[in-house]
């Protein structure tokens, strides 16, 4: 494809220039990633700690927006199952907001014989169902008052996304070139829509908790004694870990987050039990997941990856950059395909794999890879999570580097008068 490339920085007195492309992309992706991140209740309430955590998750969203969408989906499913369980118990006033608030560490149990610790929605349900705890009387409206969702930021983000989408659609209709950076922003924006949906009922930036007390003179040891052998299992987070439903072997997000936790030392467990808050990396366990729910997360991930293949025949500054960009796209789809098929195969052959590895029988792929030799753990991480991260890094870097030489039509603005009906 012979297309004249415009090299160097392009000013924008009349048409759009290089700075217009950069500004539009940076503003759009930052607004999306900032407003889409809903953090759990923090342990430290100072602004510096909040900003550091928020920016870390913003960076994660920019690099892996499809994984954040799956993360939000799992929390949504956990909240939805909690609402259904409370309705069966006769408490229709328990809402999605209550469930999200519990799972983000909003309810803290203050037992007379044990340090305070947060309890999730599953544990609140168990304690209420068995008469250990009165149903929390806090209203949904009160929880919404704790919500610090900034309406102005939401409106600004919506306007920016809408305008950015119009620009991309208009350029496609008029056959005007777009840069690889703009295409990557489109992929990120498309992933934020399902994330917004899944976290719609989750309170934003809540920093206060609600304290719950056991009924009468009950103590935590009474709760554990009545639970029997189930409560004697080792605890990773709190003494009520035994209440959480067993992980579903077909929840694909679990081994993905396991990989990230081993590449980045965020950790899901704690050295000190009980914990004082739920980490933002804590993986909610919704119990059973359906094929349709797995299909939704798969479609989100595939959509994000396949959008980058639109840049396959783009004009790049050099032949090497074009080949590396194509390789990065192939690496994204290759890592996803390899991981998905390996996960299916390991689920299918899990009993045999445990026997071959000489470890006790486990129920999930995550439990299996957590028990195998560190060499194999490292190999799995590098070949999948590491390679995927390298491909994403190259695409982002090349998105900016490729701006130094773009087709001339990249700097033409959309002629809106040609798109709108007029006399």
The reported pTM is 0.88
What is residue 269's predicted lDDT score, i.e. its pLDDT?
A: 52
Domain boundaries defined on the chain: 16-411
Of 63-77, 164-178, 319-333, 407-421, minimum mean pLDDT range: 407-421
| pLDDT, mean of residues 122-149 | 83
Alpha carbons 285 and 81: distance in angstroms, whole number: 10
What is residue 382's predicted lDDT score, i.e. its pLDDT?
A: 84
Q: Which helix (H) or strand (E) holds 264?
A: none
What is residue 375's predicted lDDT score, i.e. its pLDDT?
A: 87
Contacts of 123 by beta carbon, 8 Å cutoff, 6+ apart? 109, 238, 240, 243, 244
What is residue 133's predicted lDDT score, i.e. its pLDDT?
A: 93
pLDDT band at 184 (very low <50, low <70, confident <90, very high): very high
What is residue 252's predicted lDDT score, i.e. its pLDDT?
A: 79
Chain mean pLDDT for the chain: 86
Which of 201, 235, 91, 179 minimizes the C-alpha distance to 404? 179
Q: In 108-219, which ranges are continuous DSSP H helix?
A: 121-129, 140-146, 151-173, 180-198
Q: Give per-residue pLDDT as tens, 245-272.
A: 887 888 878 888 777 777 665 545 556 7
Q: Give per-residue pLDDT as tens, 186-237.
A: 999 999 889 989 998 888 878 888 999 999 888 999 999 988 888 888 788 8
Alpha carbons 321 and 178: distance in angstroms, whole number: 17
Q: Does the structure show a pLDDT above 80 at 128? A: yes
Q: Give per-residue pLDDT as tens, 310-338.
A: 999 998 999 999 999 999 999 999 998 99
What is residue 266's predicted lDDT score, i.e. its pLDDT?
A: 53
| pLDDT, mean of residues 335-346 | 90
pLDDT band at 147 (very low <50, low <70, confident <90, very high): low
| pLDDT, mean of residues 100-122 | 92
DSSP state for residue 234 in the 8-state scheme: P
What is residue 299's predicted lDDT score, i.e. its pLDDT?
A: 92
DSSP state for residue 182 in the 8-state scheme: H
What is residue 151's predicted lDDT score, i.e. its pLDDT?
A: 60
Q: List Cα–Cα distances, 78 to 96, 136, 287, 296, 348, in angstroms.
A: 10, 18, 7, 16, 25
| pLDDT, mean of residues 385-410 | 91
What is residue 162's predicted lDDT score, i.e. its pLDDT?
A: 84
């Amino acid at each position: 494809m012979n297309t004249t490339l415009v090299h160097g920085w392009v000013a924008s007195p009349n048409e759009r220039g290089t700075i217009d492309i950069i500004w539009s992309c940076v503003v759009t992706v930052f607004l999306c990633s900032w407003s889409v991140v809903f953090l759990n209740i923090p342990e430290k309430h100072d602004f510096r700690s909040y900003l550091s955590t928020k920016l870390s998750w913003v960076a994660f969203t920019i690099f892996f927006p499809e994984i954040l969408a799956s993360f939000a989906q799992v929390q949504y499913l956990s909240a939805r199952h909690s609402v259904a369980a409370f309705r069966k118990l006769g408490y229709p006033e328990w809402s999605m907001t209550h469930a999200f608030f519990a799972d983000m560490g909003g309810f803290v149990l203050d037992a007379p014989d044990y340090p305070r610790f947060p309890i999730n929605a599953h544990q609140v349900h168990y304690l209420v169902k068995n008469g250990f705890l009165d149903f929390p009387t806090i209203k949904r409206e009160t929880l919404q008052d704790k919500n610090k969702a900034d309406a102005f930021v939401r409106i600004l983000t919506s306007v920016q996304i809408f305008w950015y989408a119009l620009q991309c659609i208009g350029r496609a209709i008029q056959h005007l070139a777009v840069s690889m950076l703009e295409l990557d922003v489109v992929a990120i924006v498309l992933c934020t829509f399902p994330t917004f949906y899944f976290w719609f009922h989750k309170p934003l930036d809540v920093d206060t908790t609600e304290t719950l007390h056991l009924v009468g003179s009950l103590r935590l040891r009474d709760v554990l004694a009545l639970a029997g052998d189930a409560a004697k299992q080792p605890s990773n987070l709190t003494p009520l870990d035994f209440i959480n439903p067993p992980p579903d072997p077909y929840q694909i997000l679990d081994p993905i987050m396991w990989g990230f936790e081993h590449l980045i030392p965020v950790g899901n467990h704690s050295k000190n039990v009980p914990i004082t808050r739920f980490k933002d990396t804590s993986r909610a366990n919704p119990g059973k997941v359906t094929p349709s729910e797995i299909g939704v997360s798969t479609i989100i991930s595939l959509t994000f990856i396949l959008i980058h293949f639109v840049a396959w025949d783009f004009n790049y500054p050099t032949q090497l950059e074009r080949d590396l960009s194509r390789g990065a796209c192939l690496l994204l789809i290759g890592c996803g395909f390899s991981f998905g098929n390996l996960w299916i195969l390991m689920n299918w052959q899990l009993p045999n794999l445990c026997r071959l590895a000489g470890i006790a029988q486990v129920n999930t792929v995550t439990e299996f890879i957590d028990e195998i030799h560190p060499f194999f753990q490292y190999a799995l991480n590098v070949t999948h999570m590491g390679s995927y991260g390298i491909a994403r890094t190259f695409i982002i870097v090349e998105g900016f580097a490729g701006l130094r030489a773009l087709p001339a039509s990249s700097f033409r603005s959309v002629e809106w008068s040609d798109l709108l009906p007029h006399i």
